[in-house]
C-alpha cells in the first residue's frame, strides 16, 4: 500500500454519526478506516463496479465487527449511478480512482449530487506514473488539473493533505 488510510482519514476529522461514501472503494482500506471513525451511529457506503471487491469488503467488515458498512454495486461515472440519496453524504472519498475515470465530469457531478451542502470530497490520487509503478503517464491527473476539474464542477478547494510518497491528497468543499 502506498498511502496510509489511517493517517489520511485522521487528518479529515471524521466524527461519530457522519455518512461517508467511498466511490470506487476497491479493496476497502479507506472504507474500513472511515467506518471505525464514524462509529455505530454513522454509516459508510462502499461503491464499486467490481462485485468481487465488494464481497471482500463485506467479509473483512464482518471479521472486524464493523456493521456500519454497506456495499453498493454501482457506477460512479454516471449521475445517479451510486444509487445513493441526493444530499445524504458528509464526505466522499475518491482514492486512486480519478486517473481511471473516463467520464470525469459525471464522476464529479455524482459526488456533488450525493453530498450535503458544504459536504467535502477527499481526493487521493497518483502524483506521477513512477516508471510504471502507478498508472500510465498519460492517465495521471496532476493536482492542478484535479483542482481545475473539481472547481469547475462546483467545489471550492479547501486544503492539501500529504497522502503518501507517490500520492497527493486534496480536500474540496461543495458550494
The whole-model pTM stands at 0.95
**Domain residue spans in the chain?**
5-174
CA distances from 171 to 113, 119, 123 (A): 17, 10, 6
Q: Does domain 5-174 have CATH number 3.30.56.10?
A: no
pLDDT in tens, 19-60: 999 999 999 999 999 999 999 999 999 999 999 999 999 999
- Percentage above 90 pLDDT, the chain: 85
Q: Mean pLDDT in the chain?
A: 95
Residue 69: the pLDDT is: 98
Residue 55: the pLDDT is: 98
pLDDT at residue 2 tops 80: no
Residue 154: the pLDDT is: 97
Over residues 102-128, mean pLDDT: 97
- Residue identified by cell 469547475 is 152
pLDDT at residue 4 tops 90: no
Region of residue 130 (left: phi > 0; alpha: psi -120 to 50; beta: else): left
What are 34's three cell numbers? 472511515
Over residues 100-128, mean pLDDT: 97
Amino acid at each position: 500500500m502506498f498511502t496510509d488510510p489511517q493517517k489520511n482519514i485522521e487528518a479529515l476529522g471524521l466524527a461519530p454519526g457522519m455518512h461517508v461514501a467511498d466511490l470506487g472503494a476497491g479493496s476497502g482500506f479507506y472504507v474500513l478506516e472511515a467506518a471505525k471513525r464514524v462509529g455505530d451511529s454513522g454509516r459508510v457506503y462502499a461503491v464499486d463496479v467490481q462485485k468481487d471487491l465488494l464481497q471482500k469488503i463485506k467479509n473483512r467488515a464482518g471479521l472486524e465487527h464493523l456493521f456500519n458498512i454497506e456495499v453498493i454495486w454501482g457506477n460512479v461515472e454516471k449521475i445517479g449511478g451510486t444509487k445513493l440519496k441526493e444530499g445524504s453524504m458528509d464526505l466522499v472519498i475518491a482514492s486512486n480512482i480519478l486517473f481511471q475515470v473516463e467520464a470525469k465530469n459525471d464522476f464529479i457531478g455524482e459526488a456533488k449530487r450525493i453530498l450535503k451542502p458544504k459536504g467535502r470530497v477527499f481526493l487521493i490520487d497518483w502524483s506521477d506514473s513512477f516508471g510504471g509503478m502507478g498508472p500510465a503517464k498519460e492517465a495521471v491527473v496532476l493536482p492542478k488539473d484535479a483542482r481545475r476539474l473539481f472547481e469547475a464542477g462546483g467545489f471550492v478547494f479547501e486544503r492539501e493533505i500529504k497522502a503518501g510518497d507517490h500520492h497527493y491528497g486534496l480536500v474540496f468543499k461543495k458550494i
